[in-house]
Amino acid sequence: MIILLEKKQILKIEDFYFRCCIGKKGRTNKKKEGDLKTPKGIFKIGSLFYRADREKKPETKIRCIKIKKDTVCYNDIKKKQCYNRISKKNKRIRHETLFRKDHKYDFILPIKYNLKNIPGKGSCIFMHLTRDYNHTAGCIALERKNFLILLKLINSKTKIFIK
């Protein structure tokens, strides 16, 4: 099963079309950390991370992991050993906190981009929530109700094709 991002603000899966938003500066084949672009390519989808303190475990066929207060995604280009990995927080390493005050990360589907964890090539690329469809820093964001529908349609073999 393929999730297709063909147009700038439309995700398609089977017969469903979902409005979404992407990186502020569009899509690219040459993603760099902090460039505000969404990487092009065909990527696997990771396990679902969710805020169990706010949301019940959603109906989905993919593995679900609770986001804890110390869950982060490392984006420190000086730390190859943990770059682009979701893990427990180490305060000495630059990271993006996943346990946020806003609701953007109440559900996160990591897009398995930069699996070799090459520092500077881009990290923390997710599908996550939006309320206002403002541009992202490189992720793909959907409204909560559409995200939950998407979760029902996908499985562990689903890939996303970002054209």
Predicted confidence (pLDDT) per residue in 100-131, tens digit: 999 999 999 999 999 888 999 999 999 999 99
Q: What per-residue confidence (pLDDT) applies to 7?
A: 78
- What the block records as the tokens of 16 is 């469903």
Kindly give, in sequence order, each residue whose CB lies less than 8 Å from that of residue 39, ignoring residues fewer than 6 positions away. Answer: 27, 28, 29, 31, 111, 113, 114, 122, 125, 138, 162
Kindly give, in sequence order, each residue whose CB lies less than 8 Å from that of residue 68, ignoring residues fewer than 6 positions away. Answer: 88, 99
Is residue 84 left, alpha or beta, with left meaning phi > 0 and alpha meaning psi from -120 to 50?
left
Q: Which residue has tokens 């109906």?
A: 59
Q: What is the pLDDT of residues 57-114, one digit of tens each?
A: 999 999 999 999 999 999 999 998 999 999 999 989 999 999 999 999 999 999 999 9
Q: Give 95's strand partners.
A: 74
* Strand-pair category, 159-162 with 2-7: parallel
**pLDDT class for 132, splitting at 50, 70, 90?**
very high
Superfamily of domain 2-162: L,D-transpeptidase catalytic domain-like (2.40.440.10)
Query: Which helix (H) or strand (E) segment is 16 a member of?
Result: strand 16-19
Residue 154 pLDDT exceeds 90: yes
Q: Which residue has tokens 């690329």?
A: 125
Is residue 76 left, alpha or beta, with left meaning phi > 0 and alpha meaning psi from -120 to 50?
beta
| Total-model pTM | 0.95
